[in-house]
Amino acid sequence: MLFDKVLIANRGEIAVRIIRGCQRMGYRTVAVYSEADRDAPHVAMADEAVYIGAAPAQESYLSIDKLIAAAKSSGAGAIHPGYGFLSERAAFAQAVQNAGLVFIGPDPKAIEAMGNKSASKIRMLSAGVPCVPGYQGDDQSDDTLVAQAQKVGLPVMVKAAAGGGGRGMRLVHDSAHLLASIQSARSEASNAFGDGQLLIEKAVLHARHVEIQVFGDRHGNVVHIGERDCSVQRRNQKVVEEAPSPAVDEALRTRMGAAAVAAARAVDYVGAGTVEFMLARDGSFYFLEMNTRLQVEHPVTEIVYDLDLVEWQLRVAQGEALPLTQDAINLRRKGWAIEVRLCTEDPAQNFVPQTGPLLAWQVPQGAGIRIDHGLRQGGLVSPYYDSMQAKLIASGDTREQACRTLLHMLDQTVLLGVTSNRDYLRQIIAHPVFIAGDFSTGFIAEHMSPESFAANRAPTTLHGALAAVLLYRSQALALQVDAALDGELLEWQSSAPAQVPLLLQCGERKLRITVAALGRGTYRVQWDGQTLELDIVSMQAPTLRFKHQGLDAQADYALSDNQVHLSHAGLTLSYTDNTLAPASKDAAGSDGRMLAPMDGKILKVLVQPGDTISKGQTLAVLEAMKMEFAISSGVDSSVTAVTCQVGQQVKARQLLISLTPTNTTQEMPA
Rounded CA separation 472/470 (Å): 6
- In 3-state terms, the chain is what percent helix, strand and coil (to 5)? 30, 35, 35
Give kind and range of the element (H or E) at residue 103: strand 102-103
CA pair distance 340, 335, nearest whole angstrom = 17
Bridge partners for 216 per DSSP: 222, 271
Give catalytic status of residue 545 as yes or no: no
487 neighbors 476 (Cβ within 8 angstroms): no
Secondary structure letter of residue 91 according to DSSP: H
* Cα–Cα distance measured from residue 77 to residue 54, given in angstroms and rounded to the nearest whole number: 25
User: How many Å apart are CA 165 and CA 184, to the nearest integer?
Assistant: 16
Q: What are the E-state strand segments in 436-521?
A: 500-506, 509-519
Query: Helices 108-115 and 90-98 meet at what angle, rounded to 10?
Result: 170
Q: Comparing C-alpha atoms, which of 591, 532, 541, 538 is closest to residue 564?
A: 541
Tell me, what DSSP letter sits at residue 328?
H
3-class secondary-structure state, position 173: coil
Q: What distance in Å separates the CA atoms of residue 263 and residue 129, rounded to the nearest whole number? A: 7
Report phi then psi at 387, rounded to 5: -80, -10
Q: Is 225 helix (H, G, I), strand (E, B) or coil?
A: strand
Q: Which one of 186, 293, 341, 426 is the catalytic residue? A: 293
Given a contact cutoff of 8 angstroms between Cβ atoms, the answer to whether 353 and 250 are in contact is: no
Strand pairing report for 593-595 and 655-661: antiparallel
**Is the CB of residue 399 less than 8 Å from the CB of residue 437?**
yes
The helix (run of H) or strand (run of E) holding residue 183 is: helix 178-193
Give the DSSP letter of residue 190. H
CB 289 within 8 A of CB 295: no
β pairing state of 78-80 and 102-103: parallel
The candidate with the shortest Cα–Cα distance to 517, out of 473, 559, 554, 557, is 473
Nearest-angstrom CA–CA distance, 311 and 80: 12
Pair 542, 527: CB distance under 8 Å: no
Length of the chain: 670
> Which residues have a catalytic role annotated?
293
